[in-house]
Amino acid sequence: MTIALKGGTVVNADRSFRADVICDDGRIVAVGPDLAAPTGARVIDASGSFLLPGGIDPHTHMQFPFMGTVASDDYYTGTAAALAGGTTMIIDFCIPGPQQSLLDGYRQWREWGEKACADWSLHVAITWWSDQVREEMGTLVADHGVNSFKHFMAYKNALMVDDDVLMHSFSRCRELGALPMVHAENGDIVWLLQKALLEAGITGPEGHALSRPPEVEGEAANRAIMIAGAAGVPLYIVHTSCREAHEAIARARANGQRVYGESLIQHLTLDEGEYRNKDWAYAAARVMSPPFRSKDHQKSLWDGLTAGSLQVVATDHCAFNTAQKRMGIDDFTLIPNGTGGIEDRMAVLWTNGVNTGRLTPNEFVAVTSANAAKAFNIYPQKGVIAPGADADIVIWDPAATKTVSAATQHSNIEVNVFEGMALRGLPAITISQGKVVWEGNELKVQRGEGRFVPRQGTAPVFEAMKIRNELTRPTPVKRDPSVHVTP
């Protein structure tokens, strides 16, 4: 299929310019002024609109078996919701349990993902350590297109790993040119606070937020950064939600460390007051980790995006319906952790970021697409409108408006944490793999149309770090036992 987008303004992370864009056979083949539409092409008038690289959400959990249930959006409904919101690729998480083979887990997740209707890829979590894990990490990088490994510092007695595992795994990531990622919360402290709160009679969703104060996130973020520094590897910190963690990232970057900070659209726009809602189901629907924070923490995150010390806005889309949340009706520690967001990420960020002057349109593209593509080594296949790139494009109407409502969403749950939020700036048309998949508020998708996108290890940053690591390699002091300088 050939598409000619005429008269729009291309907005890439580096600059904006008036240009026509021709897509053919899934790729962008030409970008420039006054291009002739090829014979038979569908011509789309994009005047008055922005042409953005399709959004990339590098943090989602479709169909995730977690806390005794399974996330309600599978790879089909989750990627359909993504496309409706202008996100054309997700990077989801394969999370093998402790003692499970990484390759077995990977094969299982690949099978689940076959129904995706947008492009997708996988990070793999390291939840235990052994020679087998070490070996399988190598196989995943060499043969299966995985170049990032996630580590949970929380979820004690489930997915949590200790510093020993972090150091082993980070060092292995360095050898492989793979990017380590962390969920930074001190799981031991969360565990103790949960027990104390339950003993004090706090059993509702407010207990979730109280058991995960900024200190537990700040401590873990600092610790992970120090371990990454000691291992000589870059680090990606997911869902940075508080000033303490953001400042740890900013400090590390100022000290020359390659640390990438991801924020979530939920943490940027929703605050801790949500957990004190008198309606249990309302509050429980917002239970996620880390929890929503105070306005001061939100300000720090926005400042980080503006200043560049945070580089990505993701969603951590992990959708549970009210029936699933009710598993924790008597005990907040049993409420499945996670919220939706993938359908609204782009428009909520545009409304609250671009329309308020916190982000330029180019910075918007950087944090919703280009920076993730670079960090996870799929740039410029993704993340930019340029000849040769995949034809994943959003025709963005900056004047379009809507009010968020679960009643009209494509995600497979009956709640939306942004319910009632007024948005200005929406995806009018989403093009995925060179096909129009969202137009006139209608999805035109097929199950299984999404492709698994393999990602190579050794992004350029690893080459640079290899040189630095070699130059600063520890060396022994050569001593002659017969020489005694000091008396």
Ligand X SMILES: NC(=O)NCCC(=O)O
The binding site for ligand X (CB under 6 A) comprises 61, 183, 288-289, 316, 318, 337-338
345 binds, among Zn ion, ligand X, none (CB under 5 to 8 A by kind): none
337 binds, among ligand X, Zn ion, none (CB under 5 to 8 A by kind): ligand X
Nearer to ligand X, 44 or 209 (CB): 209
Q: CA-to-CA distance for 339 and 331, rounded, in angstroms? A: 18
Smallest separation (angstroms) from ligand X to the CB of 107: 21
Binding partner of residue 288 among Zn ion, ligand X, none, CB cut-off 5 to 8 Å per kind: ligand X
Residue 147 main-chain phi, psi, to 5 deg: -130, 25
Q: Which does 121 bind (CB under 5 to 8 A by kind): ligand X, Zn ion, none?
A: none
Nearest distance, CB of residue 60 and ligand X, angstroms: 9
Q: How many angstroms separate the Cα of 42 from the Cα of each of 31, 39, 434?
A: 16, 9, 11
Q: Which of residues 176-195 bind Zn ion (CB under 5 A)?
A: 183
CA distances from 264 to 80, 214, 302, 307, 336 (A): 20, 15, 11, 16, 18
Binding mask 287-316 for Zn ion (x = CB under 5 A): -----------------------------x
Cβ neighbours, 10 Å, residue 162: 11
CA 437 – CA 432 distance, rounded (Å): 6
Distance of CA 5 to the CA centre of its chain: 29
Q: Which residue is nearest to Zn ion (CB)?
A: 183
The enclosing H or E element of 15 equals: none
Helix (H, G, I), strand (E, B) or coil at 430: strand
Should residue 345 be labelled a site residue for Zn ion when binding is judged by CB under 5 A?
no
436 interface partner picked from ligand X, Zn ion, none, CB below 5 to 8 A per type: none
For residues 259-288, which are near Zn ion according to CB under 5 A? Answer: none
Least distance from C-beta 375 to ligand X, angstroms? Answer: 17
Nearer to Zn ion, 316 or 343 (CB): 316
**Residues 69 and 323: beta-carbon distance below 8 Å:** no
- As measured in angstroms, the least distance from the Cβ of 5 to ligand X is 36
> What is the chain's Cα-based Rg?
23
Cα 68 versus chain centre, distance: 23
State the residues that interact with Zn ion by CB under 5 A: 183, 316
